[in-house]
Amino acid sequence: MSELTLPSLLLVDDDATFCQVLSQALSRRGFAVRVAHGVDEALRIAEEDLPEYAVVDLRMPGPSGLTLVERLKALDSHTRIVVLTGYASIATAVEAIKLGAIHYLTKPADADEIMQAFGWEAGDAAIPIPENPLSVDRLEWEHIQRVLLECQGNISATARRLGMHRRTLQRKLDKRPVRR
């Protein structure tokens, strides 16, 4: 199959090594992969050749992956977008889906999980509901993420709304999300 007949996929992540490995894996699964390391670069690529599929990292320098999801859907409402993140939260998952992503996966996710996510057409009512509630630390993480989203990623405004020192908030955000 020639490169022109393969479905096009835009892979956007600021981690060059991750992009290289995932790009090769997705190419072996039948995609013509183009890679970008930020939102602006991804938009330039998408505007010259609309992708059929996209894998978008949530947290990158500059605008977030949520901004890119919204812009990609505005360019072509049929683009199937999967959001990947190492900083998962309920708030960002809900927003990603509202903005047009078809699925939201937490890192580390492999090419097979991404392929499966691209195939999802609807939700799964049979998904198991956890027995235990979220921990207090996880609830704090979720709340911070929701307020940060409401403040459009502005750390200072988020810290003011939370009644927290900006540096304290930055330290909390630099940590990985707390386990459920």
- Which mean pLDDT values do the consecutive 10-residue runs of the chain (180 residues) have? 78 92 94 96 96 94 92 96 84 89 86 88 61 71 78 87 89 68
The predicted pLDDT at position 126 comes to: 64
The predicted pLDDT at position 26 comes to: 95
The two beta strands, 103-106 and 80-85, are parallel
Asked if 145 and 172 touch (Cβ cutoff 8 Å), the reply is: no
The predicted pLDDT at position 122 comes to: 60
The predicted pLDDT at position 130 comes to: 64
Span 136-174: which CATH code? 1.10.10.60
Pinpoint the residues of the chain covered by CATH 1.10.10.60.
136-174
The predicted pLDDT at position 115 comes to: 92
Pinpoint the residues of the chain covered by CATH 3.40.50.2300.
8-118
The predicted pLDDT at position 13 comes to: 94
Span 8-118: which CATH code? 3.40.50.2300
The predicted pLDDT at position 180 comes to: 54
Residue with tokens 């360019």: 75
The predicted pLDDT at position 160 comes to: 92
